[in-house]
Chain A
Amino acid sequence: MSANNLHELSLAQALAGLQRGDFSSRELTDACLARIDGLETRVHAFITLTPDLARQQADQADAVRARAKKTGEALPPLLGLPVAVKDVLCTRGVRTTCGSRILENFVPPFNATAVQRALDAGMVLLGKTNNDEFAMGSSTENSAYGPTRNPWDLARVPGGSSGGSAAAVAARMTPAAFGSDTGGSVRQPASYCGISGIKPTYGRVSRYGLVAYGSSLDSVGLFARSAEDLSLVFSQIAGYDERDATTLDLPVPSYDLPQAPDLNGVRIGVPKEYFIAGMQAEVEACVRQAIEQLQALGAQVREISLPHTEYALPVYYLIAPAEASANLARYDGIRYGLSEESETMLELYRRTRGAGFGSEVKRRIMLGTYALSAGYYDAYYGQAQKVRTLIKRDFEQAFEQVDAIACPVAPSTAFKLGEHADDPLAMYLEDVFTLPINLGGVPGLAFPAGFDRQGLPVGMQLLGGHFNEAVLFRIAHAYQMVTDWHTRAPAL
């Protein structure tokens, strides 16, 4: 492989190449930066690029590797591998906008724990990727910095809210990227962009430094081109963090993947509620076919039921906005970020927040404020929490019978920019298969399972029991050993 197409390598391939000394981290990083340079005007995956920092980190990684040759010291496991970070994760010294005007000039003085762990593992930061403002959206059209486009069809959205990261990985700008997933924001764009993405168990990866949207649903996720790539980075960022009281102090397995595609003894459930009238026929066909493939690899497949699935959407759109209404109260123009000069305190709040937030963010703040208001709390937020418990119980009961659940990620493939612009409800429906997983707090891994007639990727997702990400890597990896959907690249 020549130095100018190193960006085509998967993370595992790039790591092997670096370890063999086939090329340097600087060469790999330059190839990625050149790829970004060539495509960014069309794709617009990034809000902020950090080429100088990236080259500096790459040079340092190369120096460490060179030194280790002499000293024999152990190397950080992901030394010299580039990564992009969704712009809702705080990066020390690198502005973090959350796709919002209100944080246009906000430069955090600290790294998110997950980002810090990736850097500690030797990764090289390419830049901050685009997303729906404060991760509220399913298309990356709600970014104050303009939409990201789907590398498979530039007229279409990459999904959202982590659309920039998904597009960057799909377009071979970076072998891996961070995302965040509150209601599907990693899995849906992974599906739309034909790549792999993981949303971990709630409490498995620290949320410290992830700018909060819906705190009880938010999770830090990852994109890469394969389950194996995901597992390599995931093992580095997962685990207890004393700065996040909701992380659990459980050991993180090594996620070693088997050499052979053998799923004997693995029980997979297929929830009937996830195949609904009105979903794109090709999506159902691809997912069903993939499930047959898993069966062919030895998995026992059976139909299961998650009876409260239909309530996930209304429950999510009460809980997430309610939490968001409090989480976004801190953007008041007083300590950091946008501040609209005003005569009075109230005026300062109104003008700053009026000018700083986009319409979808305002909509959800209003929704959430209403749901928490005196006299409405019990009927809305309180009731939603009770139903959430039922949805969680659905998953707990299911995982007493099966090791994993297989189902589609979204009812359809990527839609066109502007298609849902005037219809927030239609946009919300994009997440109907992803929201329940966040409400249940269980992990989910999305990966490509085919293409529709228009050549757009179709994704499917595997769900696991709490803290059982390992089974997801194992199944997806077995599938990717016998299929090649995940290796296909968009023609750009």
Chain B
Amino acid sequence: MRYEAVIGLEVHAELLTRSKMFCSCAVVDSTSAAPNTAVCPVCAGMPGVLPVVNRQAVEYALRVALALDCEVAQTSLFARKNYFYPDLPKGYQISQYEYPLAERGRLVVDTISGERTIRIRRVHLEEDTGKLTHVNDGQPRSLVDLNRAGVPLLEIVSEPDMHSLEEVRAYATSLRSILRALGVNSGDMEKGVIRFEANVSIRPEGSAQLGTRVEIKNLNSFRAMERAIAYELERQAAILDQGKEVAQETLGWSESEGRTYSQRSKEEAHDYRYFPEPDLPPLVVDADWLERVAAEMPELPRARQQRFMNNYALAAVDARLLAEEAETAAFYEAAVAAGAAPRLAANYLLGEVFAWMNASGEPFSALRITPSSFAGLIQMLESGQVNQNTAKAVLAEMLRDGREAAEIIAASGLQQVSDADVITALVARVLEENPAEVESYLNGKETLANWFFGQVMRAAAGRANPQILRRELARQLGNLKR
């Protein structure tokens, strides 16, 4: 039987605030900082301590809520989620439950088969837990690091609106690029700053009824998420094919074994005994605050893509690639502003510059070229001072040592030959030196025109202006025909 996948994602994103969610400890890179160095009585859950909400975290969360077209609650509530675990110092996590910060949003993503709208169920704030490291140096032990405990975490929950891995991928990557564009998350997956949970079910194609869903926890990379969902879709299809039923349960994902495994069944599901956090008054986001956040919102990748398509007549795919990262987009626009022809600049940026970054492994921020030097080269190319080959060679040098295009060209004599007299003489010489080919051409083998073109260009060491050359060659061959 053919099945339709029904997939929803919960995305947990750490917020890049200076301090933690409820105390003044610094947010540090929990993969590199020495254990338990960013910890105070509050985030260590000492007796008598109280949480105080980090306003920056709320603002970051509001940015995301606005970017996802959510309705922001004027009043939301923090709640305690109760469970015991050594990485949870208070024995409860401060989260939001009944009254989240924002609800009912949407994210439009591009897939091969067109635009898809994924509805967002809710966006809420909570605190991260600490980290456990299991060691066994003769005696198995678990070590607790509380550096991450209390780091602001944003939970973004989608509706089960995704029906293929491609849609899940598009949603997750698009969300990641929005978080980065908003400056609220580094997107650094290796550091665990974005983590996923997926709920997955399948149903016979055409059926309106939802199948039994499972929840896959702790998916810490795009790859793990995709593999786990793919595995789960296959597993569930096999079960249904055998006429059996999928069990409602919470699953883990084993990266090494490449399979999901049962963590707990529906019957063993935790009762988190949520109740409103008495230590925190309701979180009030008034219209003024929301307006201020909205006014400070950076442009989002998708809006920027649309603008690039409209303003610079770029193809959708080019516009998307350029618009995705704020840094790239800013470079591109600065170059255009400095006089670079928009489409030519886009081609060179996406082609040569991206290829160079891929090859060198250097990030965009490490580029030695400036928008104006890049624009200078594009202008020379457009005006015919250099041809494509020369431009590429020059750009490679610019990327290597940061010199200006004009300087490189002048130093190496790479200027394009646009002087009509020089080109006229070169064409005449090539025709003179190749009488047999001229004869064949005049007898009807017109494709030889391209061969003559190549010969002249070679004689000009590749620097002849191709338009002038083509015109001149056509003129002289025409003369011979008469």
Interface residues of A (CB under 8 A from B): 89-90, 96, 98, 103, 106, 108-110, 112, 207-212, 214-216, 242-246, 322-323, 325-326, 328-332, 334-336, 345, 349, 369, 372-374, 377, 381
Contacts and interface: CB of A to CB of B under 8 A. Distances in A.
A108 B48 contact: yes
Nearest to B22: A245
B273 A208 contact: no
Contacts of B271: 373-374
A374 B81 CA distance: 12
A207 B50 contact: yes
A215 B48 CA distance: 10
A81 B379 CA distance: 82
B364 interface: no
Contacts of B278: 214-216, 246, 323
A96 B41 CA distance: 14
Nearest to B280: A245
B55 to A, nearest CB: 11
A208 B48 contact: yes
B50 A208 contact: yes
B52 A245 contact: yes
Given A211-B47, A245-B51, A372 B84 contact: no
B92 A326 contact: yes
B91 interface: yes
B252 interface: no
B360 to A, nearest CB: 47
B82 A372 contact: yes
Contacts, number: 102
Interface residues of B, number: 29
Nearest to A345: B86
A345 B84 CA distance: 10
B241 interface: no
B166 interface: no
A244 B80 CA distance: 17
A246 B78 CA distance: 13
B89 interface: yes
A215 B271 CA distance: 21
B44 interface: yes
Given A330-B46, A372-B82, 20 more contacts: A96-B48, A98-B47, A108-B41, A110-B41, A208-B48, A208-B50, A212-B47, A212-B48, A214-B278, A215-B278, A216-B278, A242-B52, A243-B50, A323-B275, A326-B90, A329-B90, A330-B90, A335-B46, A335-B89, A374-B271
Given A98-B47, A208-B49, A334-B144, A215 B273 contact: no
Nearest to A212: B48
Contacts of A216: 278
B82 A329 contact: yes
B242 to A, nearest CB: 33
Contacts of A215: 278-279
B92 A245 contact: no
B298 interface: no
Contact of A326 (B50, B52, B82, B142): B82
A372 B271 CA distance: 9
Interface of B: 41, 44-53, 80, 82, 84, 86, 89-92, 142, 144, 271, 273-275, 278-281
Given A103-B47, A334-B144, A372-B275, A326 B84 contact: no
A317 to B, nearest CB: 16
Given A322-B275, A373-B271, A330 B45 contact: yes
A250 B431 CA distance: 97
A462 B89 CA distance: 40
A383 to B, nearest CB: 13
B47 to A, nearest CB: 4
A214 B281 CA distance: 15
Contact of B279 (A89, A106, A245, A334): A245
Nearest to A369: B273
Contacts of B275: 322-323, 326, 372, 377, 381
Nearest to A368: B273
Contacts of A89: 48
12 contacts: A90-B46, A110-B46, A112-B48, A211-B48, A215-B279, A325-B82, A326-B90, A330-B47, A335-B89, A345-B142, A369-B273, A372-B82
A331 B144 CA distance: 16
Contact of A245 (B45, B50, B82): B50
B41 to A, nearest CB: 6
Contact of B89 (A103, A106, A330): A330
Given A369-B273, A372-B273, A374-B271, A244 B84 contact: no
Nearest to A322: B275
Contacts of B46: 90, 108-110, 330, 335-336
Contacts of B281: 245-246
Nearest to B45: A330
Contacts of A322: 275
B273 A373 contact: yes
Nearest to A337: B47
B89 A326 contact: no
Contacts of B47: 90, 96, 98, 103, 106, 108, 211-212, 330-331
Nearest to B279: A215
A243 B53 CA distance: 10
A243 B52 CA distance: 6
